[in-house]
Structure 1
Amino acid sequence: MEKKKDITCVRSTLSERDLDILGSLRDHRLLTTALIRRLHFPSGGQHTPQGTSEEGSLPKRHATEAAASVATMRVLSRLESHGLVARLFRRIGGVRAGSNSLIWQLTSAGERLTRQGNDEGKRRRYLEPSAAFTFHTLATAELAVELHELAGNGAIELVDLESEPDCWRTFLAPHGAKQWLKPDLFAITAGGEFEDHWFLEADLGTEHTPVIVRKATTYQQYAATGTHQSEHEVFPVVAFVVPDERRKGTIEAALKTESTTRESFAAGMFRVVTKEGFSRFVAKGGA
């Protein structure tokens, strides 16, 4: 009982932005300092995708990215001192990359705080994750941050964004067994009068192409149930976001030549886009 009281007391000292940062870590599981800065600490002419200032108005805009980085680290250090967030031993880019390379996650206390007033099922375990999990989770978070930035800059309207596991779907496979579809992200964006629906896959170039084809086949099986279409009238574009043009060509060739996915690829159900071209791809509705 004492711990719950302590969490309640700590919560009363937190700003709206503090709570937004904790919410982002809950949603994305892992974030670097740089990603948190991009989401919650605007600088220069940048439009902030998320968050409010400590006074509840628009967030304070920092003169430079360096100043925003200092402010980000100051707030994260304070949340760390409250035992709400923890930094991983692993960094992105090494020690020379500075504080921006630090990777953060919620602690169990941070999770309890974000769960107050919410019915969110069973608790997560907060341990040092594997390298593979870390890199993939951060790649997925990067895509989510880019979507928020596009919305903040007015390039799109971000109608909905679901991260794992909220974006996972269950359905009955052809043989009647329950099956899972596990996208990395689900998003609905809008431009003008039109909505675009997306299932997003953050590809790091490490999966063999038969694994990609099997996942594409699972998407086809889910599409065949008509579940999403019955609610939204369209089925999302499945976009594989890859590191470079070489990987793009490899996956496109696999989806184009495999008999099970050839027709769906030709119809535009599956798209492959480089990480560099992702923002433009989404802003143009996949064009």
Structure 2
Amino acid sequence: MTVTWTPYKIRQLDQQLTMRDKEILTSIEQFRMLSTRLIQRLHFPAGVFGEHLNVPAATRGTTRVLLRLEAHGLIARLPRRIGGIKHGSAGTVWQLAATGERYLRAQRADADRRRFVAPTTMFMEHTLEVADLTVALTERARLGVFELLDLQTEPTCWREHTGASGAAITLKPDLFVVTADSQFEAHCFVEVDRATEHLPAIVRKCVTYQAHHQSGVEQTKNGLFPLVVWVAPDQPRADKIRRSIDTTPGLDPGMFTVTTRAEAIRVLSPDPDLITNSKGGTS
């Protein structure tokens, strides 16, 4: 039986949802999937600036809301957890269910239906790693460490330019981030590396970034070209990426910064020590 998605049904569902419910659905759509822990950090913060005294209490509150949204058919859990059994419900990974996807599309009068497919483990782990970095940036902004002026996830952060052959070339960063303090702004394209890509593939991506810089599209739009930040899982991997960039003929190493996940927030902050030049993405 086909359920008719009528304006009445949309209003009826809308009346059952709180503002936070809707924000959770929007976050899951934005990141494509989120774990219970990431949803807790985004929407149920604990501690000084949160409504919960501690993380266990915040996790219980998060789980109650997610189970209710699941009962409405708005979200669905993926069969694979992250972090193993010891992480319990916090390791559950959620994505929008068909009803949740329809509901959000109806809110913005979007007729394009999304096709749901089961993600691979590699895709899921990379997606959640990008989301974790984004949540960490959001948490620092809440603490007043810096302002988060812009944060674009895929596909909003994608950029396009015309190649030498006249064909459209699409650049696909993992994130585009702008942070600021009272004196400086840092504009960055972010690539989250999990050591699963061969180094030649990373170099090819860097060549695409350089071609996008040479097109002038970004500079015309924003007045500068963002710093390209590669975030590696550890220092040995970061060193390998750095060497590959530095030793590739014709590639401008000044366009790229390579860091580790442990140092990523510092590198993405509006730090004047990181200012380079018109390619370096800070002002």
Change in Cα spacing, 1:120 to 1:236, as seen in structure 2 (3 Å) is farther
**Partner Cα distance (2:111, 2:179) in 1:** 28
**Partner Cα distance (1:33, 1:85) in 2:** 12
> Would you say the 8 A contact 1:160–1:188 is kept in 2?
yes
> Would you say the 8 A contact 2:185–2:270 is kept in 1?
no
Do residues 277 (structure 1) and 263 (structure 2) align?
Answer: yes
Residues 82-115 of structure 1, C-alpha deviations (whole Å, 9 max, x = no match): 0000000000012221011000001121111112
Q: Which stretches in structure 2 are left out of the alignment for 5+ residues?
A: 275-283
> Would you say the 8 A contact 1:229–1:235 is kept in 2?
yes
Structure 1 residue corresponding to 2:36, chosen from 24, 33, 55: 33
**Counterparts of 1:175-194 in structure 2 under 5 Å?**
175-194=165-184
Match of 1:3 in 2: 5
Residues 101-159 of structure 1, C-alpha deviations (whole Å, 9 max, x = no match): 00000112111111223255622222321111111111111111111112111111111
> Would you say the 8 A contact 1:157–1:189 is kept in 2?
yes
Q: Which stretches in structure 1 are left out of the alignment for 5+ residues?
A: 49-60
> Would you say the 8 A contact 1:7–1:109 is kept in 2?
no
> Would you say the 8 A contact 1:140–1:184 is kept in 2?
yes
Residues 21-65 of structure 1, C-alpha deviations (whole Å, 9 max, x = no match): 0010111001000000000001112x46xxxxxxxxxxxx11110
Alignment RMSD (CA, Å): 1.5
**Partner Cα distance (2:110, 2:268) in 1:** 30
**Counterparts of 1:143-222 in structure 2 under 5 Å?**
143-222=133-212
**Partner Cα distance (2:112, 2:250) in 1:** 37
Q: Give the drift of 1:191.
A: 1.4
User: TM-score, length-normalised on structure 1?
Assistant: 0.90
Match of 1:22 in 2: 25
**Partner Cα distance (2:63, 2:205) in 1:** 38
> Would you say the 8 A contact 2:105–2:111 is kept in 1?
no
User: TM-score, length-normalised on structure 2?
Assistant: 0.91
Identity %: 43
**Partner Cα distance (1:191, 1:7) in 2:** 41
Match of 1:252 in 2: 242
Aligned residues: 270
Give the match's secondary structure for 1:89. coil
Structure 1 range deviating more: 6-15 or 160-169: 6-15
> Would you say the 8 A contact 1:8–1:113 is kept in 2?
no
**Counterparts of 1:14-163 in structure 2 under 5 Å?**
14-45=17-48, 47=49, 61-120=51-110, 122-163=112-153
> Would you say the 8 A contact 2:189–2:229 is kept in 1?
yes
